[in-house]
Amino acid sequence: MKTKDLLTMATVALGTAALTVVTFWSNRIEAGSEGEVLAPAMTTQKWVSHGVEMTLAPEKGRGLKAGDAPVFELKAINRTNASASVCVRLVMSCSSPANPLSRTVTLPRVLWQDERLLTFKAGETQVVSFPTQTHLPANVEVLVSMGEGGPLAFGAVPANPSAGGVLRTVVPTQPDIVAMSFSTAVPGLQSFLVSDSGFPRIPTLSNY
Amino acid sequence: MLRWQTIVGVLIGLISGFTILALTANPQIRPAPSGPILSECDGHLRELVIQYEPSARTIVAAAYHDFLDALESDVTVHVVCSNRAAFDDFATIVDHPRCKLLPLFVNHPMTTWSRDRWVALAPASPGGPTTLWSPRGEAGEEIWPARAGDERIGKDIGAALAPRVRARRSELYFDGGDFLTDSENVFVVPRVLQRNIQHTVHNEQEFLRILAADLKRRVILLEESPDHHAGMFMASVGNRTMLVGDPAWGRRSLPATVIDSLGLPDGPDFTPQTQHLFDAVASQCAAAGYKVVRIPVVPARDGRTFLTYVNVIMDQQGDRRIVYLPFYHGVDSLNAAAREVWEHLGYQVRLVDCSNTYRHFGCLHCLVNVLSRQACTPMRRTVTEKKEAMREAPVPICRCAAGPIH
């Protein structure tokens, strides 16, 4: 065996070993115990109904804060090779701690909701704007949920609207999702109030 | 064409690479195996965890006093406090209880609600560690500094009680109170799915698979329920029997003037819609094979404040089943009706004053978390003795044995 052979083997071995370690290092970190890195949460929330894939984002990717009236952009892609109709419902709600001592946040209050019937050609992509015309209160957590609205919510949809009245059973879609969540926390703002009766006084929109 | 030197080099490289991975593997980063989630109704209470925050004194003082005073001497209660001063303040609440109180200082803000911070998973094998399974994150932490501190409690306890207790963070978002567990099933409220779907899991199947794998019990996802923690409207009491709140009974038990005098936020909620949600829970439990027993409840229209009698702590001491049951001032007839339900189920009732607690969206079960229970095994009795015992206590008769529950 010549020195050149040994050098070749050593170089290949070193490279292979390095590649093996790099490849398998991250895979062995399983989600679970404290101190380890959890798998990242999904960054894009996708709702799929009848083969139409929908995502939601603030218009032009703007950050949202207290006082803003959000405009949402729904991007919908019909992944099927047939036309499709989907009734989508968006609901924006907010909640906040009733007071610093309470067990949980208040029941979410609906700030705005809208429902649209969207029709797609095969493979078509649409971007639909949803202006809320609702100003966001301060110091709340805001959730925007996306789900099935209209007659679809009851489990039936016209297979071919032009044929008129023919119904087919809806293929089960995923349940409503929280498409977006963000907070309008204002540093230093004390929003906790306790009433004379001892009950937490729940901030209402008029308090903001 | 590959030369033999290259092939040998690749083989040596693979062997070296995997050897390095094996030698550097840290057992700490691999989740240790854990057993099933602890039942909330079976077994003898051994170790409990409560959190105490001095600013919440008025909320918890009476409840902690009554509860700790009624506990047995073989129960250890870990009292999680921010610091020594907080524990000193806590010590003025209690009145020489028989149970053992151990402070645990965490040096950061927190709330006083222990239940939602983690769920206890029994050791996978005798002598193994109990696992505290904490959620991925806390709801509202961005606008709620104490809640951000709560997120660290599981890890704090794990560090303080290692090696017999270890902390583990879940991939999922949840509150401990979102689960209702007995020795067979885990009931899960619907909102947990919504918190996770398309955030930590792709779909419902993946969500259920993770829960079943981690909790090691059959998972029953409720399709409909009041939008609150499970322990506010239902309690599994053993022997496949489920207690479910009934607003209609709550309304029947109290004169309207008394209900009005409570000053519930936005008034009581006896609407058909709310009644339907409670009834839906009862139907789903029945469909899962449970005998359903109803108990009065008075929910408020804020959807959060409940005068509830299922938010309890249950204990099993040999032949006896004991319930630490909340009561509320000013609603004696309601308290009596609820007590009768529990006694009819064969439970010995120990009352805990939660008059100031329920106003903050939780009650006794929400304040107290259970770290370990002692297993109970069925007693050997003659047929006559069994019949006699069942007449007194419809739930199974058990005797506690040494060792944790598996």
CB of B13 within 8 Å of a chain A CB? The answer is yes
Tell me whether residue A143 is in a domain: yes
Q: Is pLDDT above 60 for B3?
A: yes
Q: Is pLDDT above 90 for B36?
A: yes
Cut 0.90: pTM above it: no
List the single range of A49-58, A194-203, B218-227, B342-351 with lowest mean pLDDT: A194-203
ipTM above 0.85, yes or no: no
Q: Is pLDDT above 70 for B113?
A: yes
Tell me whether residue A12 is in a domain: no
Closest partner CB to B139 (pick from A16, A105, A191): A105
A196: domain CATH number is: 2.60.40.10
Distance from the Cα of A165 to chain B's closest Cα (Å) equals 30
* A contact test, residue of B29, B141, B147, B354 with most A CBs within 10 A: B29
Contact criterion met (CB below 8 Å) for B1 and B274: no
Tell me whether residue A167 is in a domain: yes
* A contact test, residue of B155, B269, B359 with most A CBs within 10 A: B359
Residue A119 phi, psi (nearest 5)? -120, 135
Tell me whether residue A188 is in a domain: yes
Q: Collapse the DSSP code of B367 into the 3-class scheme (helix H, G, I; strand E, B; otherwise coil) and give the result.
A: helix
Distance from the Cα of B361 to chain A's closest Cα (Å) equals 6
Closest partner CB to B31 (pick from A33, A46, A202): A33
Q: Which domain holds residue A67?
A: 47-207
Tokens matching residue B60: 């918890």
Closest partner CB to A101 (pick from B9, B193, B360): B360
Distance from the Cα of B318 to chain A's closest Cα (Å) equals 34
* Structural domain total, chain A: 1
CB of B117 within 8 Å of a chain A CB? The answer is no
CA distance B37 to A204: 38
CB of B44 within 8 Å of a chain A CB? The answer is no
Nearest CA among A36, A33, A34 for reference residue A25 = A36
- Measured between beta carbons, the chain B residues lying within 8 angstroms of A47 are 198
Listed by number, the residues of chain A in 8-47 with a beta carbon closer than 8 Å to a beta carbon of chain B are: 8-21, 24-25, 28-36, 38-39, 41-42, 45-47
Kindly give the pairing relationship between strand B320-327 and strand B347-353: parallel
Is the CB of B111 less than 8 angstroms away from the CB of A35?
no
**If pLDDT is split at 50, 70 and 90, which confidence band does A30 have?**
very low
Convert the pLDDT of each residue in B279-306 to its tens digit.
999 999 999 999 999 999 999 999 999 9
Tokens matching residue B154: 């599981």
| pLDDT, mean over chain B | 90
The top-level CATH class assigned to B33-404 is alpha beta
Tell me whether residue A34 is in a domain: no
